[in-house]
C-alpha cells in the first residue's frame, strides 16, 4: 500500500522548522464560509437553503435534509464538501416541484445542530464545484506564536502563495480512503463500489500531492518549466508553455499564473521538462495510475500553488486569528502546515 505523501514546507529553508501549535481545538476555531458568485432567483422547482453546521459533514446534513423533506439524497444538491470539526456555511438545494418544504424544517434542523441562514427558490439544482471561493477564519495558538517567525512566515505566504496540497482529510483517518482506493483500482473500478467517486478522487489527490512534493523539492512548484500547463489566477483557464521567457516568469512572481500538476486519468501525457515527473508517478504507483485510466476518468490539471485572497492577521490575548479566502478545492490545512508544527502534517 502507498504511504501518504510527506508534507513539505517550503518556508523551512528560510525560517527553519516551525514550533508546535494548535489550530482546531474546537469547531469554532475553524470557520468556513462557501462563496457563490450568484444568488438564487426566487422561483423554480428547487428550494435552496444556506445552512450553518457544526461537527457534521456535508453528507451528514444531506441525509438529514433528505429525510426531513421526504426526498432521496440524489434530490439534494451541494457544491463542495465541508469539514466535520468546524463551523461551516454552505448552500444546499432540495428538489421540491410543486410543493413546499415542511413548515417545521428549520426547527427540526436546529434540533440536529444545523441552522437555516437563508432560503430561496431556484430553477436548477446546485451542482458540484460551482462556488468560486471559500473564506476561512482560523484561530491558531501554541508555542509557534512566540517570537517573530510566525508573522514572517505568514507574510511570506501572503506574498508567494501556498503549495496547493490536498489536505489530510481527503485521505481519511490513517489513510484508510487511500488504502480502499488502492484495493478497488487493483481489481477494477466500478461505480457501484464508489457511488460518489470518492475513491477515484482520493487516488488522484494522492498522485497530485506526490508530484507537488517533487516540485517543491526542486523549487519549480511556483515557476513554470517548459511543457507545463499553467493556470490563470482566479480562473480555470489553462494554456501550455513550450518555452519559458522573462515575462512568463514575471507573471508567476506576480501570482498572475501558476504551474499545474496532473489529476491522473485518460489523456495525453506531458512533454519536455514535465514528462519525468509523470513518469516517476507511473513507476512508483502503477496500480493507481493504470486503475484511474481504466476507470475512464478524464485527465485534468490543478494549480500547484494557490494565492491567499484578502488575508488578514489579528492578535488575540493567547492566539492569533487568520482570515483569508482560497479558490474552491484548496485546503486551509495547506496554509496551517507552513505556519506550525502539528501531527496532521507529519
* Residue 9 belongs to a domain: no
| Cell numbers found for residue 268 | 495525453
Cβ partners under 8 Å of residue 152, min gap 6: 15
* Residue 299 belongs to a domain: yes
pLDDT of residue 104: 95
Nearest in space to 255 (alpha carbons), one of 305, 310, 219, 326: 305
- 196 & 262 share domain: yes
pLDDT of residue 46: 97
Tens digits of per-residue pLDDT, 101-137?
999 999 999 999 999 999 999 999 999 989 999 999 9
Q: pLDDT grade, residue 1 (50/70/90)?
A: low
Q: pLDDT grade, residue 169 (50/70/90)?
A: confident
* Residue 111 belongs to a domain: yes
Helices (H), ranges, the chain: 12-15, 58-69, 105-111, 149-160, 176-187, 198-218, 246-253, 275-284, 286-295, 333-339
* Residue 28 belongs to a domain: no
* Residue 317 belongs to a domain: no
- 167 & 286 share domain: yes
Tens digits of per-residue pLDDT, 267-320?
988 777 889 999 999 999 999 999 999 999 999 999 999 999 999 999 999 999
Range of the domain at 179: 162-306
pLDDT of residue 250: 96
Cell 456555511 belongs to residue: 89
More confident residue, 3 or 260: 260
- 117 & 166 share domain: no
pLDDT of residue 270: 78
- 185 & 291 share domain: yes
Nearest in space to 4 (alpha carbons), one of 203, 231, 278, 273: 203
- 114 & 243 share domain: no
- 172 & 296 share domain: yes
pLDDT of residue 5: 64
Number of domains observed in the structure of the chain: 2
Report the CATH number at residue 196: 3.30.2340.10
> CB of 342 within 8 A of CB of 336?
yes
* Residue 149 belongs to a domain: no
If residue 224 lies in a helix (H) or strand (E), which one and from where to where? none
- 269 & 175 share domain: yes
Positions marked active-site:
83
Task: Work out the average pLDDT over 68-83.
Answer: 94
Tens digits of per-residue pLDDT, 128-148?
989 999 999 999 999 999 988
- 78 & 166 share domain: no
> CB of 29 within 8 A of CB of 136?
no
- 200 & 296 share domain: yes
Total-model pTM: 0.92
* Residue 84 belongs to a domain: yes
DSSP 73: G
Task: Work out the average pLDDT over 196-205.
Answer: 94
Distance CA 341, CA 325 (A): 22
- For 271, other C-beta atoms within 10 Å of its C-beta total 12
- 76 & 179 share domain: no
| Cell numbers found for residue 69 | 423533506
Task: Work out the average pLDDT over 30-47.
Answer: 94
More confident residue, 174 or 220: 220
Q: Of 122, 149, 171, which residue sits at a domain end?
A: 122
Amino acid at each position: 500500500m502507498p504511504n501518504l505523501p510527506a508534507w513539505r514546507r517550503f518556508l523551512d529553508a528560510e525560517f527553519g522548522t516551525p514550533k508546535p501549535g494548535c489550530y482546531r481545538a474546537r469547531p469554532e476555531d475553524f470557520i468556513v464560509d462557501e462563496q457563490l458568485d450568484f444568488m438564487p432567483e426566487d422561483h423554480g422547482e428547487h428550494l435552496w437553503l444556506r445552512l450553518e453546521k457544526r461537527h457534521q459533514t456535508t453528507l451528514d446534513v444531506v441525509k438529514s435534509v433528505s429525510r426531513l423533506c421526504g426526498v432521496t439524497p440524489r434530490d439534494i444538491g451541494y457544491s463542495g464538501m465541508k469539514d466535520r470539526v468546524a463551523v461551516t456555511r454552505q448552500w444546499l438545494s432540495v428538489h421540491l416541484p410543486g410543493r413546499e418544504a415542511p413548515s417545521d424544517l428549520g426547527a427540526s434542523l436546529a434540533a440536529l445542530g444545523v441552522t437555516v441562514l437563508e432560503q430561496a427558490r431556484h430553477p436548477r439544482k446546485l451542482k458540484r464545484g460551482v462556488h468560486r471561493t471559500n473564506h476561512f477564519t482560523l484561530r491558531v495558538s501554541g508555542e509557534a506564536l512566540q517570537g517573530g517567525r510566525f508573522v514572517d512566515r505568514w507574510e511570506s505566504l501572503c506574498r508567494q502563495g501556498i503549495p496547493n496540497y490536498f489536505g489530510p482529510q481527503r485521505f481519511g483517518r490513517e489513510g484508510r480512503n487511500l488504502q480502499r482506493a488502492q484495493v478497488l483500482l487493483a481489481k477494477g473500478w466500478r461505480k457501484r463500489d464508489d457511488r460518489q467517486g470518492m475513491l477515484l478522487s482520493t487516488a488522484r489527490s494522492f498522485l497530485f500531492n506526490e508530484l507537488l512534493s517533487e516540485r517543491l523539492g526542486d523549487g519549480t512548484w511556483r515557476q513554470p518549466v517548459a511543457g507545463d500547463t499553467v493556470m490563470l489566477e482566479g480562473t480555470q483557464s489553462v494554456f501550455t508553455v513550450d518555452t519559458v521567457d522573462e515575462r512568463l516568469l514575471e507573471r508567476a512572481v506576480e501570482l498572475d499564473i501558476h504551474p499545474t500538476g496532473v489529476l491522473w486519468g485518460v489523456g495525453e501525457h506531458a512533454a519536455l521538462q514535465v514528462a519525468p515527473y509523470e513518469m516517476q508517478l507511473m513507476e512508483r504507483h502503477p496500480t493507481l495510475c493504470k486503475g484511474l485510466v481504466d476507470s475512464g476518468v478524464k485527465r485534468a490539471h490543478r494549480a500547484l500553488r494557490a494565492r491567499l485572497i484578502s488575508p488578514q492577521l489579528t492578535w488575540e490575548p493567547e492566539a492569533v486569528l487568520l482570515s483569508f479566502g482560497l479558490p474552491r478545492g484548496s485546503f486551509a490545512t495547506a496554509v496551517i502546515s507552513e505556519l506550525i508544527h502539528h501531527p496532521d502534517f507529519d
